[in-house]
Structure 1
Amino acid sequence: MRQWQAIVRRETGAFFHSAMAPVLLGGFLVLVGFLFAKMMVGYSDLSTNALQSARSGNYVNLAESVFRPLVSTMLIFVVLLMPSLTMRLFSPEYRSGRYNLLASWPVADHVWVLGKWWAAVLSAWVLLGSTLVFFLSVWLFGSPEPGPLLTVFLGLFLLAAALTAWGLFFSTVFSHQILSYFVTLVLAMLLFMVHLLERFLPGVLGQAALDLSLLLHFERFSRGVLDSRDVIYFLLLMLVPLTGATALLAGRRLPARRRGAIWLPPLLAMLVACVLYALAGYFPVSLDTTGNKRYSLAPQTVKILRGLGQDLEQLQDGNDVVVYGFFQRHDPIYDSVDGLLRSFRQQNRHFRFEMLNPETELEMLRRYDVKVARTMVVTVGDRHTLVLQPQESGLINAVYRLVHGRRPVIGYLQGHGEHQLDNTELAGYASTEQALTEQGYDVRPLVLSETGGVPRDCDLVILAGPRTDPLTPETVALDRFLARGGSVLALCDPPTPSGWVRWLAGYRVALTGDVIITASSRTTISRLTEVVDSYGGHEIVKPLLGVRTLFPFAQPIGILEGKDTSIEGAVLLGSSEVSWAERDPGTRFSGRAGFDPGEDVQGPLPMAVLLEKKSDMSGPPGRMVVVGNSEWLNNSMANRDGNRDLLLNMVGWLAREEDLIELRGRDPFSQP
């Protein structure tokens, strides 16, 4: 250990006292700093656009818009710079003749190799670690996700260690530093781009090109995903050259006829590397460090896939779900789609897939009437459906709808000043319609004054922010709809028109018209109510415990006492203990509100309730969910935190699709 430490101190001291260290460090920091500044300016422009356009803001994220592209560019610099750190490890010793002196010392060959390699690794890590100042500076102005940053730097450190191992190996092979640098750079570039050869190579050779790719193995680190296959890849990429370098040094002490035996350890190391990597591929373990687990299968997806076996047993026409993906191999999204389908297959043996080339599989294109590339065909027996968006949510909902053979219809009530589904402005409901459509629901506008009633094929009616009173025939139509087992989602802002208040009172739901105020401190009050742990015990909200949902200008909701035993209700969620219901008309929506013990009502206060009304007929009971706010689903709020999940859980329960009640995968954090 002392010998190893002495070698490490000697080599690191020699590097940092040389003229090379400030040149490499200064040049690297200047290049990275310039790119960082450029990307932050671009991120600022994206943020401005995001704040002006509510829907685009859902995809502005520090980790994805700044950290990941910056690190991807840094990767090129690392590939270029690492050989310059390692070319001086052994090559100068050979040319100067000092190696003969070193070989006479009582130091084992592997100690020399490990000592010099570790010194180069430490130097590389200092070089990479110095760039942390740029990344950490972002914390002064925002709250980026720490998980992806830590993961990507772990990937950079492992990559640098692997490249320095190969650089050391070639430094033991050649006595010329430039030759050592050039060969190391060529190998690094080959590993960097070898995956591009996959589409030109057949079968096993093509897969080998993918498995050897340095870029593909680093790509998961850059997304914030820690995968056992990538960690083992880089560790094995260190093991093989280090054993080879040790064998080379040992061979220099032996006559030529005895040097063959020294290559047995490197060959065994390569064999072990292949076996370990194969085992890692069969039993992968991954950890998604992103804040919302956006690179992992959503719990809802896992739940549906694991239940496929029981669902398929009830069908007469098939026992497996088979997906055909029509993607060209050089398509940039081919690998991500293939990885998604592999993740699905790992969850259930009844899920199978095949990636097909649309340029050659013409018979399959005709059979399923596929018109464009990037199409997935989901089949169960002789039934199939097409998925044009290769995303997790679209695919799992296609599987669920095809297996169960049902697509619920949602009637979106109009004619009373409700939010418009086609409005992409801040107050519109375009994001809500998109969320429902992606979940597989058939959303249709519903004007009761024209239809005279709720259509028979409608499963659910949504009332979102009415501003005028309903006509009597309209409320009668809704009563009949509930009586035959229909469902209603009512989202009512304060003050709610009196006609709707009276109609909901008939179902023992009281809308107060007050506004919930939250006092986070003596000097800070807010009309934005945050719900984190004040959920009820119903299956709609159980998965959301600990997930924040946001409600601007919400009103409290009460459940009225009554003798009607056909109605059963429960509270879904409420405000915190530091809230109150503001009753003063002058300070409900603006101004400095204050708690008046004689007038206002102290929290916690219920904001959403559900109820079931038993049918007079033999059918299922009518269901209703009432929320004292509709703005939580406008374009600026629908995709924030857990709002989208809460909506889809409510709709899943109302549409009697309890299997769909779970947390879903979300888009990257919005951080404009």
Structure 2
Amino acid sequence: MSFRRAPALEFALSAVLAFVLLFLVTVLLSRHDLVLDLSLGQRRTLAPQTVQVLEMVERPISITAFYTDDPAEQARLLNLVQRYREHTRLLELEFVDVDRRPDLAREYGVSTNRTVVLEDGDLRVRISDPDEARLTAGLIRVLNAEPPLVFFVTGHGESSVEDDSGSGWMEAARMLLQQNFALRTLSTAVIERVPEQASLVVLAGPELDLTPGEITVLEQYLLRGGRLLAAVEPGGSRSVDSLLTLWGIQPGNGYLIDASDEQRNLLGGKEEPLIALAMGGNPDHPITRGFTFATFYPISRALLAVEPPPAGVETSWLVRSGQRTWLERTASTDAATVYDAGIDLRGPLALGMAATIDLSAFAAGAVSVRGLTGNLLEMASDEIDLRDPTLAADQQLGDEHFAGGLGDNARMVVFGDADFASNANLRVQGNGDLFLAAVLWLTEQEDRIALAPRPELSDPFILGARRTQLLQWIGIGVVPLLFFLAGGLSLWRRRRWV
């Protein structure tokens, strides 16, 4: 009799011990999250830059999410905010149904679904379709209050940020607004000085020449430590070409021809030699470090580094064409093109370049664009001598040009095509990522480059509230029950053999 009771007692004790251990493990896991990111490339792990921003949060920030009754979309945002809350408990999330609370939506200036409003006191920042990049950018805006101010130069046939046609830059403007930049237009013809609060000035494919006075405005802005993004087109402004050349980046005369197999394959076998392709980017520059996407440039110019470089100027290529490309210097875009040795320039050729200018070193050997503009327009670009010792004294830069500086160095990014960032092409392959990375580097936000929106590689499986509750009951009730059943089966089998 005692022999038969021993297994039963042993089973009961084992079952109780297993239940207690399971209960303790469940309690510990409920209080201390254990997260294992097994996704490809750890795409569910917050970027280090996001973690740095979250560590800066010192006061409560409310997140009001205006969503329709869509559990899957709400779960995406909730999951993201929960990952943020692992680093700070000062984020408060509340969902509001846009259809049920139109009054609150109007109060917050929300008119579309999937809009999030970050709120810190009287400051409100709206974000559409929030992902990690946009939500972190919104937090930066809330923490810093003043967004970087980007000026787009107008009046010379530039691509317009208000133009929604294929050639306009409205999508580029929308991308910057989503990243919490403030945008303004700037007419250099009616000002004497770029505003001090400018974080960046953009020249989006000017077709007409700028006047000497306008060139001087941009020149003095750079000499004060300004930031310039220039996209130049074949046959575009020669005065802008001259300005860029004096700062170390020379736009080549002509247009790029791409006869590579990679370009033709990515275009579905089409013969489009005027569309230049760049694969990846310069791994040694912050803008393109880790950049592996393809980028496209319809009817582009090649960019050349001035040799020898001006004093204090350091240039780097960002993206460049392949081996089977060349800079066509003779034929028009309508004519059949053949590489002419000795005339055309064979690739690889830069399609995007960056320059960093040490102003203290640049001051010693620089020459004034204002004094040279007239001469430069009469000279071939490859004949420019940047250090001509015969320049008159009034053409040399004086110390007054460097007074009241914005910083000790200037930055410049040049692309050989303005259409790569147009509405028609910004979302093609990596064009938008490259454009945004260039703007972030120019505005000294390199840490945010890694936060560019990452596309989903697959549709995640997201559980609704009912299924989540069901899984919880399975862990609490079903799993212990299985232990009891297994023990009962073992006891029954033992009794059969006794």
Secondary structure, counterpart of 1:662 in structure 2: helix
Question: In the TM superposition, what is the alpha-carbon distance from 1:576 to its structure 2 partner?
Answer: 1.2
Is contact 1:516-1:580 (8 Å) kept?
A: yes
Q: Distance in 2 between matches of 1:306 and 1:514?
A: 46
In the other structure, the counterpart of 1:395 is: 135
Question: In the TM superposition, what is the alpha-carbon distance from 1:286 to its structure 2 partner?
Answer: 4.7
Q: Output the amino acid matched with 2:207.
A: R
Question: In the TM superposition, what is the alpha-carbon distance from 1:505 to its structure 2 partner?
Answer: 2.1
Q: Distance in 1 between matches of 2:318 and 2:429?
A: 18
Q: Distance in 2 between matches of 1:506 and 1:284?
A: 53
Q: Output the amino acid matched with 1:614.
A: D
2:104 is the counterpart of 1:353? no
User: Unpaired segments of 5 or more residues in structure 2?
Assistant: 1-7, 265-270, 360-401, 458-498
Q: Distance in 2 between matches of 1:276 and 1:408?
A: 47
Superposed CA deviations along residues 158-203 of structure 1, whole A, max 9, x for unmatched, are xxxxxxxxxxxxxxxxxxxxxxxxxxxxxxxxxxxxxxxxxxxxxx
Q: Output the amino acid matched with 1:509.
A: I
In the other structure, the counterpart of 2:346 is: 602
Question: In the TM superposition, what is the alpha-carbon distance from 1:634 to its structure 2 partner?
Answer: 0.7
- Normalising by structure 2, report the TM-score: 0.67
Q: Work out which structure has the larger RCO, using CA pairs closer than 8 Å and 6 or more positions apart in sequence.
A: 2
Is contact 2:279-2:321 (8 Å) kept?
A: no
Taking a change above 3 Å as real, the CA distance of residues 663 and 398 of structure 1, as seen in their structure-2 partners, is closer
Secondary structure, counterpart of 2:198 in structure 1: coil
User: Unpaired segments of 5 or more residues in structure 1?
Assistant: 1-257, 313-318
Q: Output the amino acid matched with 1:472.
A: P
In the other structure, the counterpart of 1:582 is: 328
Match of 2:34 among 283, 286, 292: 283
In the other structure, the counterpart of 2:313 is: 567
Match of 2:452 among 648, 658, 664: 664
Secondary structure, counterpart of 2:155 in structure 1: coil
Structure with greater strand percent:
2
Is contact 1:308-1:350 (8 Å) kept?
A: no
Q: Distance in 1 between matches of 2:27 and 2:420?
A: 48
Match of 2:254 among 502, 510, 514: 514
In the other structure, the counterpart of 1:421 is: 161
Question: In the TM superposition, what is the alpha-carbon distance from 1:371 to its structure 2 partner?
Answer: 6.4
Match of 2:274 among 524, 527, 534: 527
Q: Output the amino acid matched with 2:62.
A: V
Q: Distance in 2 between matches of 1:619 and 1:456?
A: 7
Q: Distance in 1 between matches of 2:451 and 2:93?
A: 28
Secondary structure, counterpart of 2:165 in structure 1: coil
Taking a change above 3 Å as real, the CA distance of residues 599 and 379 of structure 1, as seen in their structure-2 partners, is same
Secondary structure, counterpart of 1:468 in structure 2: coil
Taking a change above 3 Å as real, the CA distance of residues 423 and 357 of structure 1, as seen in their structure-2 partners, is closer
Q: Distance in 1 between matches of 2:272 and 2:318?
A: 24
Q: Distance in 1 between matches of 2:423 and 2:309?
A: 41
In the other structure, the counterpart of 1:612 is: 356
In the other structure, the counterpart of 1:162 is: none
- Normalising by structure 1, report the TM-score: 0.51
Is contact 1:516-1:553 (8 Å) kept?
A: yes
Taking a change above 3 Å as real, the CA distance of residues 484 and 644 of structure 1, as seen in their structure-2 partners, is same
Taking a change above 3 Å as real, the CA distance of residues 564 and 580 of structure 1, as seen in their structure-2 partners, is closer
Structure with greater helix percent:
1
Match of 2:293 among 547, 563, 579: 547
Identity level (%): 22
Match of 2:284 among 517, 537, 540: 537
Taking a change above 3 Å as real, the CA distance of residues 375 and 321 of structure 1, as seen in their structure-2 partners, is farther
Superposed CA deviations along residues 550-587 of structure 1, whole A, max 9, x for unmatched, are 2222211112235741322222221111211112223x
Q: Distance in 2 between matches of 1:383 and 1:349?
A: 21
Q: Distance in 2 between matches of 1:371 and 1:564?
A: 50
Name the count of aligned residue pairs.
Answer: 387
Is contact 1:509-1:558 (8 Å) kept?
A: yes
2:424 is the counterpart of 1:636? yes
Q: Distance in 1 between matches of 2:39 and 2:355?
A: 38
Question: In the TM superposition, what is the alpha-carbon distance from 1:516 to its structure 2 partner?
Answer: 1.6
In the other structure, the counterpart of 1:7 is: none
Is contact 1:325-1:374 (8 Å) kept?
A: no
Is contact 2:123-2:142 (8 Å) kept?
A: yes
Secondary structure, counterpart of 2:128 in structure 1: coil
Cα RMSD, aligned residues only:
3.9
Question: In the TM superposition, what is the alpha-carbon distance from 1:594 to its structure 2 partner?
Answer: 1.9
Question: In the TM superposition, what is the alpha-carbon distance from 1:492 to its structure 2 partner?
Answer: 0.2
In the other structure, the counterpart of 2:304 is: 558
Is contact 1:337-1:390 (8 Å) kept?
A: no
Q: Distance in 1 between matches of 2:301 and 2:109?
A: 50
Is contact 2:283-2:289 (8 Å) kept?
A: yes
Q: Output the amino acid matched with 1:605.
A: L
Structure 1 stretches of 4+ moved >6 Å:
271-278
In the other structure, the counterpart of 1:302 is: 47
Is contact 2:321-2:350 (8 Å) kept?
A: yes
Is contact 2:194-2:218 (8 Å) kept?
A: yes
